[in-house]
Amino acid sequence: MSKIIAIHSFRGGTGKSNLTANLAVAMALQENRVAIVDTDLQSPGIHALFGIDETITGKTLNDYLWNRSSIADTACDVTSHLAIDQGKVFLIPSSINADEIAKILSEGYNVSLLNSGFRRLIKELELDYLFIDTHPGLSRETLLSIAISDLLIVILRPDRQDFQGTAVTVNIARQLQVCKMMVIINKASSRMDFSALQQKVEKTYNVPVAGIFPLSEDMAQLGSSGLFCLQYPDHPFTQILQQVAEKASINY
Amino acid sequence: MPQYPLNFGIEAVPFGMTRAKIVSFTAFKNAANNNILMPFPSRPPRNQFRKDEVKQKAKSDLQDTEESLRAKVAALQQELAVVKQEKAELENLLKQKEETRKLQLQEMQIEIDLNKLAHQVAEITQTDYFQQLQIEVESLRNADC
C-alpha cells in the first residue's frame, strides 16, 4: 500500500530538502517507486539537488494548482538522470518564477486540489512512497499537508529555538490527529553525546528519533550540487540515512 | 749555535744502536767541545713529552667528554621535545573533554519552556481558524476513503 510521508521543520535551514531528496532516493534504492512533491512553493529549491530546472521539467506544481496542467504532466522522471538501477524517482518541482511565487504568497492554494493530485500521482505512477517537502512554519497549507500524510517526519537541529518550535509542531500535529511521527536531528555537533540527545528528545516529545546526523563537512563541500547518498554511498551519513529509510518503511 | 745537537750520544741515540757510532771518539770530542759552553739542560725532555702527552690526553679526554655531553644534551633535548609533545596532546585531550562536558551541559540545558509552549499552542488551536482547519482535515481524509 502506498504511503505519503511529509517532511517538515518548524524553522528554515534545517536541511529538510536535502534530507527529503536523499531519503527518497535511499528508499528508491530499496526497489521502491517514489515521488517527491515540492510543496515549498514560497521558496522552492529541491530541484537543484537533482540538477534540473524548469527548462528541463517543463511543467511545475504551480501549473497544476492553477489548472494549467494535469498533475501527471508535472512529474519529471529523474531516475535516468540519477543513474540508479533500482526503483524509480519522480520529481514534481515548484516554479522558481518570481510572479508564480508572488501569486502563491498572495492567494495561497487549494489544498483539496493538491490532495487529490497526490492520490492521482500515487495511482498513475504506481508509487510506493510519495514525499512532501513542506514549507517551514505552521501555515494553513502546511498544516493540511501534514494532516493528510501517513507519516510525519520532523527535522530539527540541536538548537534552543528548534527545540521549542518542534514542541509546538508536534503538539499541533497531535491535535490534527497525525498518528505516525518521527524526528530527525540534523547538524548535530559530533562532540555531542548522541545517545543522551536521543533519549532526551524522545522523552521530551514522546516521538521516536529516526536518526541523528552529525554536522558534515563533506555535505557542506557538496553544496547542494548533488545527492550525497549517491556520491558517497559508503559514508557514515549515508549509512544513517539507510537506517532512517528502514525505520520509515516499517513505521506503519 | 752548536754544530751538533745537545743530546748527542745520550738521548738521540736509541738503545741498541750500533756500537761503532757511540764510541766514535772524534765525534764525541767535537760534541764535548761544542757543548761544553752550553748550559746543561735543567730537566730531560722526556718530561716535556710526558707533559705534552698528558696535555694532549687531557685535551682529548676533554673533547671526548664534551662530545659525550653534547650527545647527552641532544638526547635530553629530544626527550624533552617528546615530553612537550605528549604534554600538548594531553592538554588538547583535556580541553576536548572539557568542551564535550560543557556541550553536554549546554545540551541538557536545552529545555522546553512549557508555559511558552502552552501559550504558543493555544494561540493556534483556540481559534476559529483552527476549528475550521480540523473540519477541513476531516473532509480531506474522508475524500481519500
**pLDDT (tens digit, 9 = 90+) per residue, A55-101?**
666 899 999 999 999 999 999 999 988 888 889 999 999 998 899 99
Q: Model-level pTM greater than 0.90?
A: no
Across the range B105-123, mean pLDDT stands at 81
Instruction: Name the helix (H) or strand (E) containing A151.
Output: strand A151-156
Give the tens place of pLDDT for each residue, A182-221.
999 999 988 888 888 899 899 999 999 999 999 988 888 7
Residues of chain A numbered 168-207 and touching chain B (CB < 8 Å)? 168, 171-172, 175-177, 189, 191-193, 196-197, 200, 204
B130-133 CB contacts, 8 Å cutoff, 24+ apart: B130/A175, B133/A140, B133/A143, B133/A144, B133/A176
pLDDT of residue B59: 84
pLDDT of residue A90: 96
pLDDT of residue A212: 96
Which residues does chain B have within 8 Å of residue A189's beta carbon, measured at their own beta carbons?
103
Among the partner-chain residues A147, A163, A172, the one whose CB lies closest to the CB of B110 is A163
A-B interface: how many C-beta pairs under 8 angstroms?
Answer: 77
Residue A250's pLDDT band (cuts 50, 70, 90)? confident
Beta carbons of B100 and A191 less than 8 Å apart = yes
Note the residue count of chain A. Answer: 252
Q: What span, in angstroms and rounded, lies between the C-alpha atoms of A38 and A133?
A: 5
- The answer to whether residues A248 and A179 touch, using CB atoms and an 8 Å cutoff, is no
Beta carbons of A191 and B103 less than 8 Å apart = yes
Residue A33's pLDDT band (cuts 50, 70, 90)? very high
- Residue-wise over B82-110: b if at least 16 C-beta within 10 A, else e? eeeeeeeeeeeeeeeeeeeeeeeeebeeb
Could you tell me the three cell numbers for A126?
A: 504506481
Q: What span, in angstroms and rounded, lies between the C-alpha atoms of A121 and A114?
A: 10
Side-chain half-sphere CA neighbours of A200 within 13 A = 19
> What residues contact A211, with CB distance under 8 A and at least 6 apart?
A184, A185, A240, A241, A243, A244, A247
Three-state SS for A35? strand
Beta carbons of B110 and A143 less than 8 Å apart = no
Across the range A154-175, mean pLDDT stands at 93
When the pLDDT of each residue in chain A is averaged and rounded to a whole number, the result is 91
Position A128 pLDDT exceeds 90 = yes
Interface test with A, best of B120, B131, B132 (most A CBs within 10 A): B120
Position B58 pLDDT exceeds 70 = yes
- The answer to whether residues A210 and A247 touch, using CB atoms and an 8 Å cutoff, is yes
Residue B145's pLDDT band (cuts 50, 70, 90)? low
Phi-psi region of A134 (alpha: psi -120 to 50; beta: other; left: phi over 0): beta
Q: What span, in angstroms and rounded, lies between the C-alpha atoms of B118 and B116?
A: 6
Does A111 reach chain B within 8 Å, measured CB to CB?
yes
Torsion of CA B11, B14, B15, B17, to 10 degrees: -130
Give the tens place of pLDDT for each residue, A90-104.
999 999 889 999 998
Residue B141's pLDDT band (cuts 50, 70, 90)? confident
B93/chain A closest Cα distance in angstroms:
12
Give the tens place of pLDDT for each residue, B3-54.
444 444 444 445 444 444 555 666 666 666 665 555 555 555 677 777 788 8
Grid-cell match 647527552, residue found = B72
